[in-house]
Amino acid sequence: MNKSNWKQQVTPFQRKVYEAILKIPAGQTRSYAQVARMIGKPNAARAVGQALKRNRWAPQIPCHRVIASDGALRGYSAPGGLKTKLRLLRREGAKMV
């Protein structure tokens, strides 16, 4: 993945979201609300979800590490959907699964 290339292909909001999730260590998760707070937009959890839905660089930009506040996996638009999200999290050793 050419990191500078993806930055030119997304909106400023998406860039903030993707840069934030790139900081989530492998094996850890954050909620959509936590990501919203990370980017300084505490009321934008749904918008974070929409930005992640448009992530064409998964799993290199690890949107699989973002889950619902209640611990549920919720959507994953990469091939394989939630099964792939769960597999990636398990491979990384995430404790929530």
- DSSP β-bridge partners for residue 96: none
Q: Domain map of the chain by residue range?
A: 3-92
Q: What is the pLDDT of residues 42-87, one digit of tens each?
A: 999 999 999 999 999 999 999 999 999 999 998 888 889 999 999 9
CATH T-level assignment (fold) for domain 3-92: Arc Repressor Mutant, subunit A (1.10.10)
Q: How many residues appear in the chain?
A: 97
Which residue is catalytic, options 63, 66, 88, 89? Answer: 63
CA 81 vs CA 38, 60, 66, 67, 72: distances in Å: 25, 16, 14, 13, 14
Clarify whether 54 is annotated catalytic: no
CA 77 – CA 84 distance, rounded (Å): 10
Please indicate whether residue 79 or residue 34 has the higher confidence score (pLDDT).
34
Question: What is the residue-averaged pLDDT of the chain?
Answer: 92
